[in-house]
C-alpha cells in the first residue's frame, strides 16, 4: 500500500513541472505592464504593453487548465502500460463526466441549490474545456483520473472475441468509463455543493490557525518527504482547496498586479501565503547545512568537498531541487533530516510572524520572478526583513548541524579518513529501502505473444523499428539470419511471416494493436527474455455463432474490374492465404461497394482496410490496394462509419487509382474471409482477368 501512495505522489509531479515556468512568465509580465515600475512605456495602448499582454495570455495556459493537466498527467505516472493511451482515455472520460454534470445541473440544479446559469464568482461553477460544470478543482480531476487509471490497468488487456476486436483496449476502457460516469456525476452533483461549504469552513480555520498552522504544514511537508507522501500535504494547499479556492499558486499569480500596486502589508493582502513558504529552507537552510559539512570535514577532504557540495547548494537555492542533501540525511542519520524539518518549519513560521508571505515554494529564480521583482516597489521592507531572518537562520542551521555531527560523529560528506562520503540520490535511497518481491502476476495473452515474437525475431537488439497496420506487425530487422522459422511463429499464434531482407511482417490479425503495445513495452523495459517460445502454446478460442440467424452468406464483387485469384497477387500475405481465402479485383474505377450484407466492424485509421461482419458471422476484410497503408489515407474517401448496416448496394468508399499508381503501389481490391477455419466456400467459377461489375455474385460461404 505504501508503494502505491509513493507512486501516486510521484505521478503528481508530472503536471506540476509546467507551473514554475508559467508562473515566472506571469510574474514578469506583471512587472513589465506595471506603469509604476516601467513608467509610460507600460501604459495601455503602447506597443510594449501590447506585446507583453500577448505573452501574458500564453503564460496563463497552464493555470487556466490545471484540471485538464492533472487528468492527462496522472495516468502517465500511474498507468502500468500504454501510458499515452491511458492519458487519452482519462481526458475523454473526464470530459464525459463534465458533460453529464452539466446536463444534470440543467435539469435538477435547483434541487441541490446550484444555478447552472449563474456567472457569479461564488457560484461553485467553472468552465472546463468549454463545458460549464461544478468547480471540483484538481481534487475532482485527480479522482476521475484515478478511476480511469484503475479501469485502464484492469481492462485494457481484456481480450474480446474477434468479432468485437474493434472494442478492445482504449475503446473498452472508455466504454466502461462512459457508463460509470453517469452515477459518479450524479453523486458529485448531490455531494459536492455540501463539500464546498465544508471546504470554505476549513479554509477559514486554516487561515485563522496562524503560526501554528504554518509550522505544522511546513514540518509535515518536509518530514514526509522520505516516504514520498509530502505530495499529499502540499498539493491541497498549493493547488486547492485546503486554504483557498484554486490553491495558493493560482491565487497569487491572479493577484500579482493588485498586490504589487497596493501599499497594504502583504500579510493582510495574502495571509494564506504562509502555506507556500517551504522554499525558504532551500535558500537559507541548505547553505547552513553545507557550511556545517565543510566545517566538520577532515581538512584534507575539504577541497574535494567544495567541488561536491557547491553545485548542490546552487541547485537547491536557485532551482529548489534539494534531493542530494535531503537523501544524504536519510542514509547517514535520519535524525538529522527531522532536525532539518523542524528548523525549516521554524524558519518559515518566524518569517510569517514578521509579516513575510507570498508564493515562495520553489527556488530563488521562481521566487524572484513572482515575488521580489513585481512587489519590490511597495513591499521591499518585507523582503529586507525576510533576508535578515534568513541570514540568521543560516547561522542557526550551521550551529545546530555542526553540534550534532560532532556530538554523534555522523559520517557526513568529508568526514571519512579513507575516502569521501558521497552525496546520494533518491534512486540510491530507494535501492537501499527496496526488497525483492515475487512477481506472480498472471501474464496477459498479448504480452505472452509479444514476448514470444521478440524472441523469435532474434531478441530486442535485433529489432531496429516496430510499426503495425490493420493486421500485421511491421518490423525492420538488423540480422535476418537470427529469425526463427515460419512454423515457429505460427506455433505461437501468428498466421504467417513475410520476409524481404531486413523488412519483416508478422501476420497477427485484429489483435495486432494490443500486441504492438506489449512489444514496445517489453523492448523499452525489458522482460522479453522470460518468454520461451517453445513453452508457449497458442490458445485459440472457438466462437459461438449460434446467435446468428443466417448460416450462409453470398459474396459479391465490390468494384468494377478484372477478376483475379489471390494467388496472382504480388503480396505473400494474400497470395499464400495467410489471412484467409477469398478473391481480388483489378479495378477500372474507384467506386468501392460492400461485398457482403452485414455490419461495419472496423475502419483502419489510414482508410485502406474495412472490416465487415456478415449476417452469418463471417469476418470479411475489404483491403484497398497493396501496401497502401504507407499512403496514410490520402487516396481514400470512406463513406460509411463503424456500426453501419450495409449491403452489396452500399457504396463504402472512393479510391483514387491514379494517385495509388503514381505512388508505386497496386490498386488491387482484395476480399478475404479472415475466420475461414469456420466456413467452407463454394467454388469460384470466374477465370483470371474476367471482366465483372460491382454487385456480381461470386461465391457463397457456408458455416461448417
Chain length of the chain: 704
Taking Cα atoms as reference points, which of 469, 542, 472 lies closest to residue 508? 472
3-class secondary-structure state, position 475: strand
**Helix, strand and coil percent figures for the chain, each rounded to 5:** 55, 15, 30
Catalytic residue among 93, 95, 218, 469: 469
Per-residue HEC secondary structure of 488-549 comes to: HHHHCCCCEEEEECCEEEEECCCCHHHHHHHHHHHHHHCCHHHCCHHHCCCCCCCCCCCCCC
Tell me the C-alpha distance between 355 and 353, whole Å. Answer: 6
Q: Are 592 and 618 in contact (CB under 8 A)?
A: no
Q: Which residues contact 671 (CB under 8 A, 6 or more apart)?
A: 555, 558, 582, 583, 584, 585, 595, 620, 621, 622, 623
**Apex 660 CA angle, 658 and 664, nearest 5:** 110
**Apex 163 CA angle, 158 and 164, nearest 5:** 40
The position carrying cell 490520402 is 634
Burial of 401-437, coded b for 16+ CB within 10 Å and e otherwise, reads bbebbeeeebebbbbeeeebbebbebebbeeeeeeee
The position carrying cell 511471416 is 497
Taking Cα atoms as reference points, which of 467, 461, 478, 452 lies closest to residue 516? 467
Is residue 469 flagged as an active site residue? yes
Strand partners, 476: 465, 503
Tell me the C-alpha distance between 316 and 177, whole Å. Answer: 42
Tell me the C-alpha distance between 8 and 146, whole Å. Answer: 9
Region of residue 610 (left: phi > 0; alpha: psi -120 to 50; beta: else):
beta
Active-site amino acid positions: 469
Amino acid at each position: 500500500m505504501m508503494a502505491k501512495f509513493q507512486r501516486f505522489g510521484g505521478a503528481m509531479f508530472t503536471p506540476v513541472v509546467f507551473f514554475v515556468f508559467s508562473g515566472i512568465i506571469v510574474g514578469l509580465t506583471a512587472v513589465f505592464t506595471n506603469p509604476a515600475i516601467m513608467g509610460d512605456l507600460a501604459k495601455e495602448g503602447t506597443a510594449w504593453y501590447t506585446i507583453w499582454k500577448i505573452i501574458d495570455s500564453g503564460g496563463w495556459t497552464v493555470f487556466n487548465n490545471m484540471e485538464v493537466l492533472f487528468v492527462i498527467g496522472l495516468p502517465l505516472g500511474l498507468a502500468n502500460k500504454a501510458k499515452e493511451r491511458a492519458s487519452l482515455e482519462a481526458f475523454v472520460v473526464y470530459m464525459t463526466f463534465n458533460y453529464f454534470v452539466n446536463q444534470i445541473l440543467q435539469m435538477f440544479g435547483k434541487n441541490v441549490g446550484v444555478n447552472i446559469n449563474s456567472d457569479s464568482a461564488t457560484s461553485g461553477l467553472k468552465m472546463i474545456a468549454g463545458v460549464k460544470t461544478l468547480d471540483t478543482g484538481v481534487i475532482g480531476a485527480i479522482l476521475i483520473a484515478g478511476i480511469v487509471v484503475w479501469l485502464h490497468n484492469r481492462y485494457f488487456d481484456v481480450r474480446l472475441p474477434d468479432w468485437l476486436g474493434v472494442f478492445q483496449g482504449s475503446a473498452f476502457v472508455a466504454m466502461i468509463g462512459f457508463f460509470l460516469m453517469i452515477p459518479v456525476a450524479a453523486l458529485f452533483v448531490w455531494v459536492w455543493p455540501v463539500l464546498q461549504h465544508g471546504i470554505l469552513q476549513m479554509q477559514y480555520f486554516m487561515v485563522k490557525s496562524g503560526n501554528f498552522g504554518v509550522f505544522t504544514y511546513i514540518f509535515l511537508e518536509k518530514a514526509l518527504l522520505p516516504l514520498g507522501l509530502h505530495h499529499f500535504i502540499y498539493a491541497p494547499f498549493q493547488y486547492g482547496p485546503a486554504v483557498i479556492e484554486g490553491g495558493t499558486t493560482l491565487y497569487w499569480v491572479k493577484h500579482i498586479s493588485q498586490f504589487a500596486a497596493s501599499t497594504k502589508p502583504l500579510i493582510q493582502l495574502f495571509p494564506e501565503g504562509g502555506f507556500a513558504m517551504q522554499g525558504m529552507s532551500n535558500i537559507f537552510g541548505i547553505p547552513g547545512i553545507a557550511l556545517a559539512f565543510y566545517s566538520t570535514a577532515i581538512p584534507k577532504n575539504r577541497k574535494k568537498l567544495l567541488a561536491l557540495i557547491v553545485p548542490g547548494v546552487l541547485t537547491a537555492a536557485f532551482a529548489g531541487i534539494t534531493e542530494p542533501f535531503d537523501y544524504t540525511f536519510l542514509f547517514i542519520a535520519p535524525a538529522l533530516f527531522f532536525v532539518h524539518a523542524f528548523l525549516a518549519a521554524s524558519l518559515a513560521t518566524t518569517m510569517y510572524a514578521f509579516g513575510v508571505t507570498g508564493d515562495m515554494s520553489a527556488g530563488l529564480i521562481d521566487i524572484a520572478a513572482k515575488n521580489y521583482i513585481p512587489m519590490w516597489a511597495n513591499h521591499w521592507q518585507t523582503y529586507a526583513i525576510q533576508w535578515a531572518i534568513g541570514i540568521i537562520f543560516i547561522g542557526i542551521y550551521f550551529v545546530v548541524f555542526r553540534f550534532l555531527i560532532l556530538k554523534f560523529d555522523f559520517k557526513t560528506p568529508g568526514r571519512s579518513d579513507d575516502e569521501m562520503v558521497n552525496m546520494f540520490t533518491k534512486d540510491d535511497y530507494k535501492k537501499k529501502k527496496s526488497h525483492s518481491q515475487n512477481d506472480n502476476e498472471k501474464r496477459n495473452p498479448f504480452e505472452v505473444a509479444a514476448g514470444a515474437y521478440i524472441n523469435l525475431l532474434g531478441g530486442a537488439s535485433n529489432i531496429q523499428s516496430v510499426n503495425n497496420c490493420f493486421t500485421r506487425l511491421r518490423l525492420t530487422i538488423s540480422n535476418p539470419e537470427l529469425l526463427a522459422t515460419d512454423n515457429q511463429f505460427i506455433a505461437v499464434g501468428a498466421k504467417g511471416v513475410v520476409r524481404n531482407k531486413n523488412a519483416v511482417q508478422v501476420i497477427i490479425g485484429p489483435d495486432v494493436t494490443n500486441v504492438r503495445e506489449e512489444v514496445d513495452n517489453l523492448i523499452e523495459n525489458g522482460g522479453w527474455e522470460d518468454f520461451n517460445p517453445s513453452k508457449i502454446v497458442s490458445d485459440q478460442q472457438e466462437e459461438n455463432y449460434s446467435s446468428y440467424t443466417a448460416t450462409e452468406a453470398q459474396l459479391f464483387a465490390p468494384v468494377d474490374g478484372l477478376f483475379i485469384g489471390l494467388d496472382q497477387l504480388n503480396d505473400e500475405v494474400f497470395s499464400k492465404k495467410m489471412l484467409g481465402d477469398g478473391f481480388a479485383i483489378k479495378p477500372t474505377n474507384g467506386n468501392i461497394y460492400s461485398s457482403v450484407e452485414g455490419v461495419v466492424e472496423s475502419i483502419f485509421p489510414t482508410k485502406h482496410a474495412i472490416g465487415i461482419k456478415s449476417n452469418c458471422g463471417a469476418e470479411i476484410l475489404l483491403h484497398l490496394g497493396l501496401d497502401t497503408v504507407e499512403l496514410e489515407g490520402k487516396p481514400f474517401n470512406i463513406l460509411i462509419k463503424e456500426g453501419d448496416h450495409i449491403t452489396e448496394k452500399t457504396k463504402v468508399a472512393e479510391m483514387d487509382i491514379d494517385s495509388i499508381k503514381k505512388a508505386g503501389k497496386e490498386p488491387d481490391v482484395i476480399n478475404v474471409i479472415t475466420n475461414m477455419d469456420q466456413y467452407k466456400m463454394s467454388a469460384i467459377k470466374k477465370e483470371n482477368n474476367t471482366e465483372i461489375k460491382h454487385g456480381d455474385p461470386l461465391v457463397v460461404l457456408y458455416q461448417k
